[in-house]
Structure 1
Amino acid sequence: MTAAPEAAPGAGPPAAAPSLLSINNIEVIYDEVILVLRGLSLEVPKGQIVALLGSNGAGKSTTLKAASGLLPSEQGEVTSGSISFAGEDITKMDAPERVKRGLSLCMEGRHVFPHLTVSDNLLAGGYTKAKEAGETLDFVYEFFPKLADMRARTAGFLSGGEQQMLAIGRALMSQPTLLMLDEPSLGLAPLLVEEIFATIAKLNADTGLTVLVIEQNARTALSVAHHGYIMEQGRIMLEDEADALADNPDVKEFYLGVGGDAGKRSYRDVKHYRRRKRWL
């Protein structure tokens, strides 16, 4: 990729990348009573990888479902706030229209079609770009050579890592400008996790693809991300550049498992101290 030109003396810092996805102070309720997201806001700049981190139940998957338009299928709805993509308000837009505009979600748990071949799984993901499916298939096979080698195999017989590659490849078949990934490391061995995230980083570096990834594996996610957010109980509690988050002592202690003296204190006490000191 071409290096960015240096700023002229006295010109100030370079302008920030424009946001491709903007989630603005949204609340999400399930079954008309269960409040999950509580005034959540985040920005995903064009051409960057953004990591959304947090524990189970923090609301990470709900955030992606809100952005992708899948909430109605689970009796959920955005009750306030707004979501915009490429400058267009998509808060009330249905999921297929969002796909056509360039959003693609790779859901947690892979969800491949087990009785179809690898090739047919990929083609199913490209239904909105059917005329260009052959070219896009070649693109996917370039980034996932293993899929090319097993294109005729039945997806249900693939390993977990191979199915995850297939699920990401299928999401790429719609030629997204924003790829959203829900826990891509779930259930995978460490070496496979490294391979998956290396491919995500390469996609971003080589094509400029914007990525929003939610993860519990904070160390790996922050190693490839440009910016990061940390969620707790439906709210963003902390955000910063990825390198700064990785160096933050609280993040190290609670999400990376290093630093601090957590062994001398209970988790409850440390968590209370952490919130009082930094996030409240």
Structure 2
Amino acid sequence: MLTLNNVEVMYDKVILALKGMSMQVPKGKITALLGSNGAGKSTTLKAISGLLKSENGQVTDGYIEFEGKKIDGNDPEIIVREGIFQCMEGRRVFKHLTVEDNLIAGAHTRKDRSNLKQDIERVYTYFPKLKMLKGRTAGYLSGGEQQMLAIGRGMMAKPKVLLLDEPSLGIAPLLVKEIFSIIKQINQQEGTTILVVEQNANVALSIADYGYIMENGRIVLEGDVASLLSNADVREFYLGMKDAGRKSFRDIKHYKRRKRWM
């Protein structure tokens, strides 16, 4: 459904952030893009959604296709209308508007607005707490409540693909588990294709069908969830599950020097 082929992204015509990025997001599935801070995950989402221009970035090589159409270089509003919606890192809700007004704003690009009230109620079925807070000014919500609102606002655009950038960031662990459970429900019940970017590999892989691991602007490992969870390097460096036999700092230092992922 969504394909990135050998994509390079440069900021300010100087900084090369993506260095031949290739990945596929299949229809109706949840794909996880994992990696440490600065690996290029958010840049990947911005390249897809057309938001690079706001940061003086551009795709300088390769291409991005959505449903067989080349979309890199398109303006963000065109990409949203094509069916791709990005929930930004840090939630970015309209803090001066109410919860319900935020949801209505999410439907701004839709051509068909006849079922707006029905769609708002559908968001409330996934996020009952938002219904209780629908008249509350969004800026006064907790971080978890704002994340729910950001996802709900994305649903109002009726996207074919929902891009989620670090949905667990700054949220209490118990609430993270609840939100990711709802993301899985949205995927299964609405049929929405989801690409989730996360540093928290444990929670992302708990709902994903397929995963990519990114380092320094490149994909270094990919596979279905079962294969990633069984990979010793992934278990140690992304899941915090240390296997027996690698105990000394010298061993770890040696490991970091070699070309792992090959």
TM over 0.5: yes
Answering whether residue 120 of structure 2 is matched by residue 120 of structure 1, we say: no
1:47 aligns with 2:17: no
Conserved 8 A contact 1:219-1:246: no
Q: What is residue 150 of structure 1 aligned with on the other side?
A: 133
- Tell me the distance in 2 between the aligned counterparts of 1:262 and 1:47: 39
Go from structure 1 to structure 2 and tell me whether the alpha carbon gap of 1:154 and 1:262 turns closer, same or farther (over 3 Å shift).
Answer: farther
Q: Determine if contact 1:228/1:242 at 8 Å carries over to the other structure.
A: yes
**Local SS of the residue matching 1:80:** strand
Instruction: Determine the C-alpha separation between the residues in 2 that align with 1:24 and 1:43.
Output: 8
Q: Give the C-alpha shift of residue 256 in structure 1.
A: 0.4
Deviation at 1:268, TM superposition (A): 3.4
The answer for the alignment partner of 2:211 in structure 1 is 228
> What SS does structure 2 have at the residue aligned with 1:127?
coil
Q: Which runs of 5+ in 1 are unaligned?
A: 1-19
TM-score, scaled relative to structure 2 = 0.95
Q: Is 2:145 aligned against 1:162?
A: yes
Mapping 1:76-95, distance limit 5 Å: 76-95=57-76
- For 2:78, the aligned partner's letter is E
C-alpha distance in 2 between matches for 1:268 and 1:160: 37
**Counterpart residue number, 1:179:** 162
CA distance in 2, matches of 1:262, 1:185: 30
Aligned residues: 258
Structure 2 unpaired stretches of 5+:
none
SS of 1:256's equivalent?
coil
- Compute the displacement of 1:133 (Å): 2.1
- Structure 1 position 262, deviation (Å): 4.8
2:199 to 195, 208, 216: 216
Displacement, 1:108? 0.3
TM-score of the two chains, using structure 1 as the length reference:
0.89
Confirm or deny that 1:265 pairs with 2:249. Answer: yes
Corresponding residue number in structure 1 for 2:225: 242
How much has 1:259 moved relative to structure 2? 2.3
Equivalent-residue separation in structure 2 for 1:263 and 1:213 (angstroms): 32
User: Deviation at 1:131?
Assistant: 3.5
